[in-house]
DNA sequence: CTGATCTACAACCATTTGGTTGTAGATTAT
DNA sequence: ATAATCTACAACCAAATGGTTGTAGATCAG
């Protein structure tokens, strides 16, 4: 994953409406207009949110008749989780180095 | 965590420079000017990035003489990880429901 | 004391973001 | 065939973002 991709994913998740769309479409897929009905904004606004999520690879869309079905895609969520886990690991390694330092024989 | 807090955290992570600052300060703390030296932008720009991270609770700052030391804070990273794990769980529950459906006796 | 360093913060600017309305193309229903 | 529904996309707007420079307050070094 390039920095730009990671940027896009985090930015896409930095909005409560978009996080809710991801949550919903991970559970069960919905059409764009199904989604739009549940938010207090225009259809076009919801459509843009879905497009942002699609560009970030967090949802996929496929046509069913005149509707576009939106389905959550867990793949990039896992990638992000892995990145955060890496951070967590860095922190733990720092802590254990500090622990080692404290455990050293204090009389060299 | 409120939606606004989550927004702030994801938004703070949606920038490669800020992610790098988090990574570095989780490993070993640095002063703001230490950090600023390593990025191709003004001191003030780096200072703003650190402020954004601090507002998101991803780093903490404390004074050491005339310097401000920046230290990565793993707490909110874990919160975000938990949120992503929740998404992952939702997806898995959907998959197992589909599995259950497929496993149903096809002749009722 | 004086000068250098580190930080904070304001003011400014270009770009992006998140919303709107309006128009037009496809598909479905009557 | 006509009307209704769903989507895509453009144009526009206010606010936020990410950068800049400049100024001023603390702290440290000589």
Give B59-88 pLDDT, tens digit per residue.
999 999 999 999 999 999 999 999 999 999
State how many domains chain B has: 1
Confidence band of B106 (pLDDT split at 50, 70, 90): low
How much is the mean pLDDT over chain B?
Answer: 93
pLDDT surpasses 50 at B108: no
Considering the domain boundaries, does residue A108 fall inside one?
no
Considering the domain boundaries, does residue A80 fall inside one?
yes
Interchain pair A14, B3: CB under 8 A = no
Given CB atoms, is B15 within the 8 Å cutoff of chain A?
Answer: yes
Considering the domain boundaries, does residue A98 fall inside one?
yes
Confidence band of B95 (pLDDT split at 50, 70, 90): confident
Considering the domain boundaries, does residue B108 fall inside one?
no
Q: State how far the Cα of A92 lies from the Cα of B27, in Å rounded to an integer.
A: 9
Given CB atoms, is B11 within the 8 Å cutoff of chain A?
Answer: yes
Rounded to an integer, the average pLDDT of A29-53 is 97
Answer yes or no: is B62 CB < 7 A from strand D: no
Greatest Cα-to-Cα distance within chain A, rounded to the nearest angstrom: 78
Q: Which residue has the higher pLDDT, B105 or A92?
A: A92
**Token pair of A45 as six digits:** 């606004």
Considering the domain boundaries, does residue B19 fall inside one?
yes
Considering the domain boundaries, does residue B55 fall inside one?
yes
Of all residues in chain B, the percent with pLDDT exceeding 90 is: 85
How many Cβ atoms from other residues are within 10 Å of residue B102's Cβ? 8
Q: How far is the CA of B64 from the C1' of C23 (A)?
A: 61
How much is the mean pLDDT over chain A?
Answer: 93
Q: What is the pLDDT of residues A57-88, one digit of tens each?
A: 999 999 999 999 999 999 999 999 999 999 99
Q: What is the pLDDT of residues B39-58, one digit of tens each?
A: 999 999 999 999 999 999 99
Q: State how far the Cα of B49 lies from the Cα of B72, in Å rounded to an integer.
A: 13
Dihedral pair phi/psi, residue A74, rounded to 5° = -75, -10
Q: What is the pLDDT of residues B13-28, one digit of tens each?
A: 999 999 999 999 999 9
Nearest to B56 by CA among B9, B100, B90: B9
Which pLDDT belongs to residue A98?
Answer: 75
Q: Which nucleotides of strand D are protein-proximal, with an atom < 7 A from a CB?
A: 5-11, 17-22, 25-28
CATH number at B64 reads 1.10.10.10
> What is the four-CA torsion angle of A9, A12, A13, A16, rounded to 10 degrees?
-170
DSSP A24-80: HHHHS-EEHHHHHHTSSS-HHHHHHHHHHHHHTTSEEEEEETTEEEEEE-HHHHHHH
Q: Which domain holds residue B48?
A: 3-103
pLDDT surpasses 70 at A106: no
Burial of B96 (0-12, 13-18, 19+ CB in 10 A): exposed
Considering the domain boundaries, does residue B80 fall inside one?
yes
């Amino acid at each position: 994953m390039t920095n730009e991709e990671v940027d896009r994913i985090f930015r896409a998740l930095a909005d409560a409406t978009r996080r809710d769309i991801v949550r919903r479409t991970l559970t069960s897929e919905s059409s764009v207009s199904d989604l739009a009905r549940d938010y207090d904004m225009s259809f076009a606004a919801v459509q843009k949110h879905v497009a942002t999520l699609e560009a970030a690879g967090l949802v996929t869309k496929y046509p069913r008749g005149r509707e576009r079905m939106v389905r959550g895609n867990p793949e990039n969520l896992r990638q992000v989780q892995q990145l955060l886990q890496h951070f967590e690991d860095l922190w733990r390694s720092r802590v254990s180095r500090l622990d080692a330092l404290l455990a050293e024989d204090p009389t060299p």
